[in-house]
Structure 1
Amino acid sequence: MIDLTTFTERVTDLTGFEKLKNDDTEDAVIEFVCYEEDYGVIPEPVPANRVLPDWYKNLSQYVKGGNDNVHIGDSTVKRCAPFMEAMTAGWIIPLAAQVEFHAHDGYVEYKWDFHRKMVSSHDMKQVGGEAFPNSEWPVMKWHNFWCVRVPEGYSMLITSPFNRIEKRFQPFSGIVDVDRYFNFINAPFMWTGGEYDGVIEQGTPIIQVIPFKRDSFITDGVVRPMTEEEQTRQMKTQNRLGVNESAYREEMWVQKKGTRNLPYDPDG
Structure 2
Amino acid sequence: MQMFDLNDTVERVKDAASLKTLKTDEEDSIIEFATEPELYGVIPEPIPANKVLPEWYRHLEGRMGEGLNQSTVKRCAPFLDALSMGWIIPLAGEVEFNAQSEEFVNYEWGFDRELVSNHSPDQVGGEEFPLAPFPIIKFHNFWAINVPDGYSVLFTKPLNRVENRFQVFSGVVDCDSYYNYVNFPCVWSAPEFSGVIPAGTPLIQAIPFKRDGIISDAVVKEMDDEEQAEIQKTKTILSGRESAYRNEMWQHKRGSRNLPPE
Question: Of the candidates 161, 165, 170, which is equivalent to residue 162 of structure 2?
Answer: 165
Map 1:215-254 onto structure 2 (within 5 A). Answer: 215-254=212-251
For residue 206 of structure 2, what is the amino acid of its counterpart?
V
TM superposition shift of 1:242:
1.1
CA–CA distance in structure 2, aligned partners of residues 2 and 58 of structure 1: 41
Alignment RMSD (CA, Å): 1.5
TM superposition shift of 1:256:
2.1
1:51 alignment counterpart: 52
CA–CA distance in structure 2, aligned partners of residues 2 and 192 of structure 1: 24
1:36 alignment counterpart: 37
TM-score, scaled relative to structure 2: 0.93
Asked whether 1:83 is paired with 2:79, we answer yes
Contact 1:47–1:259 (CA under 8 A) maintained in structure 2: no
1:178 alignment counterpart: 175
2:13 alignment counterpart: 11
CA–CA distance in structure 2, aligned partners of residues 231 and 143 of structure 1: 50
CA–CA distance in structure 2, aligned partners of residues 181 and 15 of structure 1: 11
After alignment, is 75-84 or 244-253 more displaced? 244-253
CA–CA distance in structure 1, aligned partners of residues 16 and 200 of structure 2: 28
1:264 alignment counterpart: none
1:93 alignment counterpart: 89
CA–CA distance in structure 2, aligned partners of residues 258 and 17 of structure 1: 25
For residue 3 of structure 1, what is the amino acid of its counterpart?
M
Contact 1:49–1:258 (CA under 8 A) maintained in structure 2: no
Where structure 2 has 5 or more consecutive residues not aligned to the other structure, the ranges are 258-262
TM superposition shift of 1:213:
0.6
For residue 248 of structure 1, what is the amino acid of its counterpart?
Y
Are residues 193 and 71 of structure 1, via their aligned partners in 2, closer, same or farther at CA, if it must alter by over 3 Å? Answer: farther
CA–CA distance in structure 2, aligned partners of residues 213 and 26 of structure 1: 13
SS of alignment partner, residue 70 of structure 2: strand
1:205-262 Cα deviation digits (max 9, x unpaired) = 00000001100000011100111100000011011111122110011001223668xx
CA–CA distance in structure 1, aligned partners of residues 170 and 28 of structure 2: 27
TM superposition shift of 1:74:
3.3
State the identity %: 53
Contact 1:91–1:259 (CA under 8 A) maintained in structure 2: no
TM-score, scaled relative to structure 1: 0.91
Where structure 1 has 5 or more consecutive residues not aligned to the other structure, the ranges are 65-69, 261-268
CA–CA distance in structure 2, aligned partners of residues 120 and 98 of structure 1: 14
Contact 1:151–1:179 (CA under 8 A) maintained in structure 2: yes
CA–CA distance in structure 2, aligned partners of residues 11 and 48 of structure 1: 25
TM superposition shift of 1:39:
0.1
CA–CA distance in structure 1, aligned partners of residues 143 and 226 of structure 2: 50
Are residues 15 and 136 of structure 1, via their aligned partners in 2, closer, same or farther at CA, if it must alter by over 3 Å? Answer: closer
